[in-house]
């Protein structure tokens, strides 16, 4: 680990993951693929700065990280799914095995920028569920006192998108006080919590991705699929 990349981290406590304690024999061994989304278009966006910190940490935990820039993404239904930014987002969602969602809190809720990104990711896409069974970490930043409204909303959406949302989360109050001029986060318990979230996300992704299909295999869907097959097989020829 380079101290210049993560100067706030205590090297002795920043331990590499013990993959053999998380992944079973035969599980995928490539670097976990993590997509990071943030919910602001401001030039100095604190949700983007948190997203960047998370990306650095996740890379040091051995993940492959890609961050989607929401600038230019149309509102849902404003344009077609063929829009270049929509296609980029959907391809990243399919590529990923886990996600980080970071949103500012505005009027007690997530921003429209954040919600638009989630709304453009469908529950099903060409027979594939692009989010089902994938891990999710949720974080928020606030301009005022600490709140958990937005992370609670993000958890609800993660459940709706059939994702495995990790227990830990981060809420950064008065975010304008937590970053230096270069956009790096100061050392504080708030920073420690972001490290915790990233470490836990990496662990849960290793733990679940090799068995995500089995974990999300549902009785009701098996019944529905069997009924559809039965109807097709027993069609009366005309």
CA angle 30, 140, 64 (to 5 degrees): 15
Q: CATH classification of 30-233 is 3.40.50.300, yes or no?
A: no
- pLDDT digit string (tens) for 193-210? 999 999 999 999 999 998
pLDDT at 13: 87
Q: What is the mean pLDDT of each run of 10 residues along the chain (238 residues)?
A: 76 90 92 98 96 97 97 93 95 97 96 97 81 96 94 96 96 96 95 97 96 86 73 64
Candidates 125, 126, 152; CA nearest to 138 is 152
What's the half-sphere exposure (Cβ side, CA atoms, 13 Å) at 34?
33
- pLDDT digit string (tens) for 143-187? 999 999 999 999 999 999 999 999 999 999 999 999 999 999 999
Total residue count of the chain as it appears in this document = 238
Q: What percent of the chain has pLDDT over 90?
A: 74
Full DSSP string of 115-157:
HHHHHHS-S-BTTB-SSTT-EEEEEEE-SSS---HHHHHHHHH
Q: What is the dihedral of CA 98, 102, 107, 111, to 10 degrees?
A: -70
pLDDT at 58: 97
Q: Return the domain boundaries, the chain.
A: 30-233
CA 12 → CA 15, 16, 19, distances in Å? 7, 10, 19
pLDDT at 217: 85
Query: What would the two tokens of residue 89 be?
Result: 């987002």
pLDDT at 229: 57
Which runs of consecutive H residues, i.e. helices, occur in 80-236? Answer: 84-95, 112-120, 149-160, 189-208, 212-215, 219-233
Cα(153)–Cα(139) distance, rounded to whole angstroms?
Answer: 11
What's the half-sphere exposure (Cβ side, CA atoms, 13 Å) at 117?
30
Q: What percent of the chain has pLDDT over 70?
A: 94
pTM over 0.85: yes
Sign, CA dihedral 173-189-45-177, equals positive
pLDDT at 2: 58
Cα(170)–Cα(134) distance, rounded to whole angstroms?
Answer: 19
With H, G, I as helix, E, B as strand and everything else as coil, classify residue 165: strand
């Amino acid at each position: 680990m380079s101290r210049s990349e993560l100067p706030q981290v205590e090297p002795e406590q920043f331990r590499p993951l013990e993959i053999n304690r998380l992944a079973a024999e035969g599980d995928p061994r490539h670097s976990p693929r993590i997509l990071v989304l943030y919910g602001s278009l401001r030039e100095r966006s604190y949700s983007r700065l948190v997203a960047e910190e998370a990306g650095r940490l996740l890379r040091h935990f051995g993940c492959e990280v890609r961050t989607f820039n929401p600038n230019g993404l149309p509102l849902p239904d404003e344009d077609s799914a063929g829009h270049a930014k929509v296609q980029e987002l959907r391809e990243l969602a399919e590529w990923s095995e886990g996600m980080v969602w970071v949103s500012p809190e505005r009027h007690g809720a997530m921003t429209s920028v954040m919600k638009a990104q989630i709304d453009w990711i469908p529950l099903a896409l060409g027979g594939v569920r692009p989010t089902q069974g994938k891990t999710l970490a949720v974080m928020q930043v606030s301009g005022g006192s600490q709140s958990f409204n937005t992370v609670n909303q993000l958890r609800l959406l993660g459940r709706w998108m059939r994702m495995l949302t990790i227990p830990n989360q981060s809420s950064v109050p008065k975010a304008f006080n937590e970053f230096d001029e270069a956009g790096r986060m100061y050392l504080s318990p708030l920073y420690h919590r972001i490290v915790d979230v990233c470490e836990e996300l990496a662990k849960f992704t290793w733990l679940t991705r090799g068995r995500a299909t089995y974990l999300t295999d549902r009785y009701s869907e098996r019944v529905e699929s069997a009924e559809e097959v039965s109807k097709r097989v027993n069609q009366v020829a005309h």
